[in-house]
Structure 1
């Protein structure tokens, strides 16, 4: 990661016991990690930026590994994931898109056999901007109980010349999920969708 100028990182964990109904036997755990790095393209238009995705891969892997450790070290407990990026005001939305491949690669590399696309969002914003990072099931995007999001941000980031790169993992679907649709026990196609 020598080509990445990292300013700070944060690891956020949540345990959700109920949403107004009965207390769950096992709380839903969600973890998010944010890495705030210098945006090497801030302040100017650069036509060729794709090479930076490869540079970001080790950062993504390190983040995913720390998140699994925060969940107890067993990657098999992870059922949901998502990723996102907040681009400081000196950058452009496409700089956030640089996180699509390395963020997804990091999740797939650390979560054996994850088949579903890693949902993603990004936006340009100032210091203190927050992002609702979408979450879906790691093996089947249509598992409705796992449609979720986690709001993530930092009070002092991203500065105009920075990127806030985000990964999210969860141990299950929404507490008290009851709106039908494909259940995780019914995953059969193994195509990342159903």
Structure 2
């Protein structure tokens, strides 16, 4: 599959440092970043039974976006502790078009952060600590230009690590047009800046199954 289905109009990157939330200032601020690509929706305005070609065409897009985001955050991949993804589909598209981002967006970040197809046990992603074992959380909706999307964030190795439950609001002014899609990746360097509600700690991950 060629990249002929891919027509990117804009790319927006945002990075923020959170120094405190009215509490003690941590030694290192929490850094969160997101990258959003605005591209033409080749299936806009009609029902297309076979939409999988776009999923394949988005694979290199996801890889490039993940790399650009990490670079924009000015941290090495090893510093990333949380991730998430999402999509806003223009009004002439359908929710399922955003679902095409699950594989290209998720695996692009996981591979950048060290996920391996055969780690330790022979099963995908199992048996080796620290290689983006957790599924990448996601959200999507159909929306008008300027629609904001709260991108969920969870720990890269264990979805039950409560301190890393977070969300980052992302919007691209003027996008998506009705015949466009906004594809988003987000990453963070740590837990919520004042996380203190208990639950599994990142230091206590023991199962290495992507959950605990």
TM-score computed with the length of structure 1 as normaliser? 0.98
The 2-side partners of 1:186 and 1:96 are apart by: 34
Shift of 1:2: 4.5
Partner in structure 2 of residue 107 of structure 1: 109
1:178 to 196, 201, 207: 196
Q: Please show how residues 51-70 of structure 1 align to structure 2 within 5 Å.
A: 51-70=53-72
Q: Does 1:10 align with 2:12?
A: yes
2:159 to 141, 147, 158: 141
Partner in structure 2 of residue 129 of structure 1: 147
The 2-side partners of 1:148 and 1:94 are apart by: 25
Shift of 1:73: 4.4
Give the aligned length: 194
Look up the SS of the partner of 2:71 in the other structure: helix
Shift of 1:52: 1.1
The 2-side partners of 1:158 and 1:58 are apart by: 21
C-alpha contact (below 8 Å) 2:84/2:187 kept by paired residues: yes
Look up the SS of the partner of 1:51 in the other structure: helix
C-alpha contact (below 8 Å) 2:5/2:42 kept by paired residues: no
Shift of 1:50: 1.3
Partner in structure 2 of residue 19 of structure 1: 21
The 2-side partners of 1:92 and 1:72 are apart by: 35
- Segments of 4+ moved more than 4 angstroms: none
Partner in structure 1 of residue 96 of structure 2: 94
Deviations 1:48-104 (A, max 9, x none): 001211100111100100111122241000000000000000000000000011001
2:138 to 105, 120, 142: 120
Partner in structure 2 of residue 161 of structure 1: 179
Look up the SS of the partner of 2:211 in the other structure: coil
The 2-side partners of 1:134 and 1:73 are apart by: 20
Deviations 1:19-50 (A, max 9, x none): 01011110000000000000000000000001
- For structure 1, the residue ranges without an aligned partner over 5 or more in a row are none
The 2-side partners of 1:70 and 1:127 are apart by: 25
Note the aligned Cα RMSD (angstroms).
Answer: 0.8
Look up the SS of the partner of 1:23 in the other structure: coil
